[in-house]
Amino acid sequence: MAQPSSPHQHEIQILISLLDDPDEKVYAGVRDKLFLYGSEALPVLEKAWESTLDEMALRRIENILQGIQKESLFAEMNTWVATGGSDLLQGGMLLSRFHYNGLDESDAIRQAGRLTQDLWLEMNPKHTPLEKIKVLNHVFFDVHGFTPVLNPAPPITELLIHEVLQRKKGNPVTLGIIYLMLAQSMHFPMLGVNISGHFAGAWLNKPIQSLTFPVSVQLVDFYVNAPIRGVVFTHADIDRFLDKHDIPPRPANYVPVSNVASVRLLADKLIQVYERSSDVERYEQLKIFLSAFE
């Protein structure tokens, strides 16, 4: 589908035509004016990038494109957080788009849609909560074949949600977020829980739309090891796990967290990857990006 024309397309084109001027002051002024147009300038810049032969102008167009995309992405993340992060797929894809500037989301959206449709076809309104989890596990693990990769130093492909949707295998945090996304698409009252670094799900006895945070642990009916075959467990099982590993039983190990906090956990994993790989630019940019979560 063709991009709609910008109402300021002519002015943007004139500015772009000045990007081959060797004067850095001229370039700085042009760049600043293009940034003011924001995402409206992106289609015009992309078209210019495809047809520009001048190396300096090409490099400048690329820098401006990336800068505007990052600013637009930051604004989207702020909006997603401010509105409660109800769409987990959107939150996860914002991180994918951070890593791959200008990433096309359509494939990931289609794959998530197929998951949701397959689960919907299997559901029965008379199912109990445990029966619903059983059906969800069947669709997620058996039909679609999602598999966790227990890698202490995961590569980026095991963390980004669009990659895991395509490959059907990935880090337990990403897998857990996709599992929760699928559950929430069916209006299951499920949220994430961070059990001392182990991501799981919590089934609540109250709709998540009516919750205020922090959530009382009394609202949890049971827990689900979302990344590992969806095994159901209890508060007492967490007690035993923490005791076995000499971990203090802090409330944070039992209490469900918001979708925003779940995506923040994934973002922290990405930061670790950038730190390990000495990707200083992305490391610093993501730190700034995550100020939206504060």
Please give the C-alpha separations between residue 111 and each of 10, 102, 103, 166, 177, in angstroms, as whole numbers. Answer: 38, 19, 15, 7, 14
Q: How confident is the model at residue 1 (pLDDT cuts 50, 70, 90)?
A: very low
Question: Which residues neighbour 90 within 8 Å (Cβ) at sequence distance 6 or greater?
Answer: 80
Q: How confident is the model at residue 2 (pLDDT cuts 50, 70, 90)?
A: very low
The residue-averaged pLDDT of 106-129 equals 95
The residue-averaged pLDDT of 106-127 equals 95
- Per the CB < 8 A criterion, the answer to whether 256 and 220 are in contact is yes
Residue ranges covered by each domain of the chain:
9-82, 88-293
Q: In this predicted model, what pLDDT tens digit does every residue of 20-77 receive, in sequence order?
A: 888 888 889 988 889 888 888 888 888 888 887 788 888 898 889 888 888 888 889 9
pLDDT beyond 70 at 3: no
Please give the C-alpha separations between residue 88 and each of 36, 182, 237, 243, 268, in angstroms, as whole numbers. Answer: 30, 9, 27, 32, 16
> Coil, strand, or helix at residue 118?
helix
State residue 8's pLDDT score. Answer: 78
Q: How confident is the model at residue 5 (pLDDT cuts 50, 70, 90)?
A: low
State residue 205's pLDDT score. Answer: 95
State residue 132's pLDDT score. Answer: 97
Residue predicted with more confidence, 37 or 242? 242
- Per the CB < 8 A criterion, the answer to whether 188 and 149 are in contact is no
Q: How confident is the model at residue 183 (pLDDT cuts 50, 70, 90)?
A: very high
- Per the CB < 8 A criterion, the answer to whether 151 and 167 are in contact is no
Give the tokens for residue 165. 């949707």
Q: How confident is the model at residue 4 (pLDDT cuts 50, 70, 90)?
A: very low
The residue-averaged pLDDT of 63-92 equals 90
Q: How much is the mean pLDDT over the chain?
A: 91
The residue-averaged pLDDT of 205-226 equals 93
State residue 6's pLDDT score. Answer: 63
Residue predicted with more confidence, 156 or 55? 156
Lowest mean pLDDT among 105-109, 184-188, 255-259, 285-289: 285-289
Question: 288: how many CB neighbours lie within 10 A of its CB?
Answer: 10
